[in-house]
Structure 1
């Protein structure tokens, strides 16, 4: 068989080699499967097999790339078709591996699911000892509650059976007693709450840690960014906004006591900029490529730097490996001993998978440190791996089993996630006021859309706009769509030139896509009126291809729901652009309007610094020592059947706050709010806690990852934790602002 390879032509040789390697690799996987230690569970084995398979395919892909594009590539033109064929083949294999992973998931019984990721509390080995009750925790160790730690009982049960299986457990003080298990599981692996007396020790240790000092210069950060070509766009944005950032951080320091904050060790990994991602965003960023994610990353990096934390920025897998190399050398099943090397990890969805492959089995110990930049949001039903499988929700981005608040969105999309946001860039000049007074605003209409494809089928609408304003565009010159000659195209503009053009423009015209970008807020901040496209019916993953893979059922009522809901007229006019007579009527009104520039505080430099500082200080997904926002902000509302908590809270001019679900999910607490439970039981679904007023049956949530503001049930009344909010800073309750930065 192998000898015949060398009697074929080059194309046949390479194809045959791929088949041979595949055959050999299959044998390797089989041998690997049956030679693993018996104590390794199926989920771990599955992940390792699939990861090895992916590495094999990627290695072949890289080898293929080198063979065709290497030093002798010019003399191998005949391989062009072969290269494309192999590329398609390898991509197909990777996709099949992804599908295989889902199928293997379905084959693994819930009783043997990886206990580090499982949301079931029954994570002990079969035939193990009786589950430890909460009363035993209290009587033996003084642990008053394990609310918010659903794995704790199962993990203690597992430790009781298996604590001698790894020598390192003893080195952490595990001696076979229940309290030693809790001590380990609370302070090393974060599966149980800390013992009361130990909380004081941790607080005392924090006093000795270095303090974060507010910085008044960005020179050090800019020098670091200048060393990397892929960060050029981010560097230029920071330079343009330098004076605003410095003024903002000084203003924040005057408003709050920021002197006693512990300095955090923070890793920021920009997976979307890695070459391994294949997105080529850094290469296309100056050619009209997507900017929303880079805007958010730029402002996040700037903020954590100015807030005085110890930051490391990674833009490649090699850099990530270098920063985390000490974490991956652990040979046994325990985490690295000693102080954690990181306090926070900011990452995106692409980078998250890269982090998992680098950390391997150590990943679970750093899960609670993650803050995932997620533009469109991830709802609990997609985040929860088992629930997603049960409902057969297809999405390549879900099944991460994080606490939903660990996802950081660009806008306040869903209260189940955290609203990080970004900074809206305004035009700035050294002689700002005098210079702006010289700029005259004329009847110009600037169309929102860098790609001419966005303009397709919009010509009748643009014809109406053109009757009232001179039509301008900023799209790439290389386009195939035939556009009207009356469009004045400026090409792709620099940030400075775009801001200047917006200052001269009357109307910023939406076309329906892109969805929820930063540009409309920039236009409004520069004094434009935004013509926002209304969607009827709303766009969602059921009727719009763009959203089909997104891990959310959220419905978009318009191109920019935030601008529609939180800003509105006179700055934002939302209209169905297919209704041409209505469009014309609105344009008559708009052209007679005179509006001043407007920018919500939460999208200013100071607003983002304020919000991020509170998140860093107060959001704790590891030890969870306190509820934040404070429980005093809780307003309990009861939804009608088929009504979500998002809806019932909004109706009361409030916001659903998922952090309060832990507090409400008890019969005793429900009775305090006049909800009488004659009987109760625990289940796992999105609409819990809930109750039936007819028979006074209360249903409590058994799976904390499924706490959801968005869920509803056609028969049961949801019990909803709402809170008020600060206009212009919706991430905070009104009572949060006075003491939110006190330590």
Structure 2
């Protein structure tokens, strides 16, 4: 507002200056014009006189008029000139008088405008003082007179170490002076006490360490109690399609949902008949797939209809369909401006609480990096709401900001410092992350299935001609027994005997799988959805081994991925399913290849699909995760502790492998409970001595010779997948539902 006043003042002074200059120059222009008029009259008179002289001279030549007559005429002309000059002088004097009068009036007007300007400035200054005074009076009375309360608050607020928070002291000093300048601070509980400053600067903003004993709550604006907003199961996707209209980034996603609409609705009816899905609260959920935004530069959408990778789009499509049909309120974002609008900016010196009370945020790593600059100092409030879709997973040591930096674990996608379970994977790669998954699509109805008979043919898994490089000998063996078909973008790079269908729609791929007996892997792409689609269509999968196992340590494709997980075959999840559906082979051993092909041709298999990859299975899993998995409250405990089973892992063995050997799965959510010497004694682990340390990823663990227990000091370093050659790990394991590994038997 002050800037506005300054600008107005400057404008008035400039205007007055222009008027003054105009007034000074006006007499000059008028007199100048009058002089021109006078000159014109004089010239005219001279011409007339000369004309008369000429006429007189001419007359003299033709007549005999006396010379005296010529003098009289000249005298008359001179008299006329004198009269004109006199009239001109009178006009000039009159104009000068008028200009002097105008000057006086202009001076009076300028003086009057100056007085008006001063009065206006004084008036606005007084109004501003009244607003400031009113603003200060609105501060709660207990803040103005509550010195006793401030003292009490500060006594209950321990002084914490400022290590790692270099700007905390400066921010505390600023808050002490400036907290009354904005009522927004009071809305967060700031009341003038040191403790309220510290709580605000640690929980609302992230400049200071958090006060011990406090539980960080999600961003929820306090509103009057309203009637319960229940999540009602939806029977149509119309509202979802309307929200996707005119958003090119969601075209492929919408088409997939439309093609599966009937299957989704049937699965929802089936699930609701088996489980109670009432009394669920409808959540406000922000969905921001950062990788599909134009700002990301990845151009995923451009390649979706021309043979590009579809894994991420498949997962986003299925997740969005589930969130909507479960009855939650979705806010879809396909660009940074839309994202900023949904989050309501949340910038400025004190972040305003959003009108949209977001409860959950589904995004990917790119989207996470787009969100952070928008929420700025409110990041800590939104951090616990994040669910990050991460195809290949992020391991705890890569996730930890300081650990990854100190141990040179370089990754453009690491160091995000979330709870590892907040990363949602495509397959259950590692128990340190949460398995989200996707749905394997059933495109063909029973009538069409009867029309498609199984042929003596194989379909090769490889849309790019480059995937076929150095695979001719392997494919030749298969061609000895089967006709070979492909869906390749460049037919010049494949053997001439391959019947290439080119890049085709999903419906045609499923039809080809229904007609084929073998789906042939070429070692790449890794861990895609296609092999499970083959199994669902009754087609066996040839799964190439990877020897040595490939990871970010030795393979270009995995470099930069925030993990060192070893991939032992083209599709490790399918590898675990095993024969007769999946045959994991060394494709360079042609004898082994031939033996596998013969075995497949001598068997008959029915379509097979694990429950966790069906519509109903994913609906069940996502619904439980929404209702039970909570990273914003330390009081919540899920999975239930009744599912905990403690297993010790021998030196050099990870908890992941130790739990698997007993038919269980490692559950990192239980690490915090076990990270206590007294609790360990309940599981026959006798800690003679113990200490907390953050020096390794394998704690809690113990030395079997000395019974010295090592407990983890940093919860973000709990890991199921790391091991140590000299320490016995203490592993939290749990059971799981068959074909639904993300859920324990008592989790539903």
TM-score, normalised to structure 2, is: 0.73
Deviations 1:22-77 (A, max 9, x none): xxxxxxxxxxxxxxxxxxxxxxxxxxxxxxxxxxxxxxxxxxxxxxxxxxxxxxxx
1:361 corresponds to which of 365, 377, 381: 377
1:416 corresponds to which of 410, 424, 432: 432
CA contact (8 A) 2:400 2:415 kept: yes
Structure 2 unaligned segments of length 5 or more: list them. 1-151
Distance 1:551 1:489 in 2: 37
Change (3 A) 1:712 1:435: same
Deviations 1:471-527 (A, max 9, x none): 0001114x663x211001111111111111111111000000000000000110011
Deviations 1:304-327 (A, max 9, x none): 000111101111122212222342
Matched, 1:585 2:595: yes
Which residue of 2 is the match for residue 238 of structure 1? 257
Deviations 1:234-285 (A, max 9, x none): 1111111111000011111112222211111111111111112111111111
Which residue of 2 is the match for residue 268 of structure 1? 287
Which residue of 2 is the match for residue 553 of structure 1? 564
CA contact (8 A) 1:474 1:493 kept: yes
CA contact (8 A) 2:575 2:582 kept: yes
2:609 corresponds to which of 593, 599, 619: 599
Which residue of 2 is the match for residue 86 of structure 1? none
- Aligned positions of 1:69-108 closer than 5 A: none
Which residue of 1 is the match for residue 126 of structure 2? none
Q: Give the number of equivalent residue pairs.
A: 584
1:445 corresponds to which of 451, 458, 462: 458
Segment of structure 1 superposing worse, 166-175 or 462-471:
166-175
Distance 2:633 2:327 in 1: 23
Matched, 1:256 2:275: yes
1:691 corresponds to which of 676, 698, 702: 702
CA contact (8 A) 1:185 1:192 kept: no
CA contact (8 A) 1:186 1:194 kept: no
2:242 corresponds to which of 223, 241, 257: 223
Which residue of 1 is the match for residue 720 of structure 2? 709
Matched, 1:350 2:366: yes
Displacement after TM superposition at 1:187 (Å)? 8.2
- Aligned positions of 1:131-142 closer than 5 A: none
- Aligned positions of 1:205-604 closer than 5 A: 208-328=227-347, 331-332=348-349, 334-337=350-353, 341-429=357-445, 432=446, 434-477=447-490, 481=493, 483-565=494-576, 567-604=577-614
Which residue of 1 is the match for residue 5 of structure 2? none
Change (3 A) 1:204 1:152: farther
CA contact (8 A) 2:346 2:353 kept: no
Change (3 A) 1:302 1:653: same
Distance 1:640 1:622 in 2: 34
Displacement after TM superposition at 1:542 (Å)? 1.6
* 3-state SS of paired residue (1:371): strand
Change (3 A) 1:232 1:375: same
Deviations 1:88-117 (A, max 9, x none): xxxxxxxxxxxxxxxxxxxxxxxxxxxxxx
Which residue of 2 is the match for residue 164 of structure 1? 176
Distance 2:458 2:161 in 1: 55
Distance 2:731 2:280 in 1: 33
* 3-state SS of paired residue (1:546): coil
Distance 1:195 1:605 in 2: 40
CA contact (8 A) 1:690 1:719 kept: yes
Distance 1:692 1:203 in 2: 51
Displacement after TM superposition at 1:140 (Å)? 6.0
CA contact (8 A) 1:193 1:623 kept: no
* 3-state SS of paired residue (1:245): helix
Which residue of 1 is the match for residue 53 of structure 2? none
Matched, 1:724 2:743: no
Deviations 1:633-676 (A, max 9, x none): 11111111111111111111110000001101111111111212
Instruction: Determine which structure has greater relative contact order: mean sequence separation of CA pairs < 8 Å that are 6+ residues apart, divided by chain length.
Output: 1
Distance 2:162 2:634 in 1: 14
Which residue of 2 is the match for residue 114 of structure 1? none
* 3-state SS of paired residue (2:547): strand
Displacement after TM superposition at 1:357 (Å)? 2.6
Distance 1:151 1:507 in 2: 62
Distance 2:747 2:161 in 1: 28
Distance 1:359 1:270 in 2: 17
* 3-state SS of paired residue (2:546): strand
Distance 2:479 2:175 in 1: 74
Which residue of 1 is the match for residue 124 of structure 2? none
* 3-state SS of paired residue (2:375): helix
Which residue of 2 is the match for residue 82 of structure 1? none
Deviations 1:379-426 (A, max 9, x none): 001001111111111211101000000000000000000000000012
Change (3 A) 1:492 1:151: farther
Matched, 1:661 2:680: no
Rg larger for:
2
Which residue of 1 is the match for residue 135 of structure 2? none
* 3-state SS of paired residue (1:267): strand
Which residue of 1 is the match for residue 690 of structure 2? 680
Distance 1:150 1:370 in 2: 28
Distance 1:618 1:189 in 2: 27
Change (3 A) 1:704 1:604: same
Displacement after TM superposition at 1:338 (Å)? 7.0
TM-score, normalised to structure 1, is: 0.74
CA contact (8 A) 1:226 1:235 kept: no
Deviations 1:195-242 (A, max 9, x none): 79x99x999999854111110111221233242222221111111111
Displacement after TM superposition at 1:612 (Å)? 0.6
* 3-state SS of paired residue (1:164): helix
CA contact (8 A) 1:265 1:344 kept: yes
CA contact (8 A) 2:205 2:378 kept: no
Displacement after TM superposition at 1:301 (Å)? 0.6
Distance 1:235 1:183 in 2: 44
CA contact (8 A) 2:542 2:584 kept: yes
Displacement after TM superposition at 1:707 (Å)? 0.8
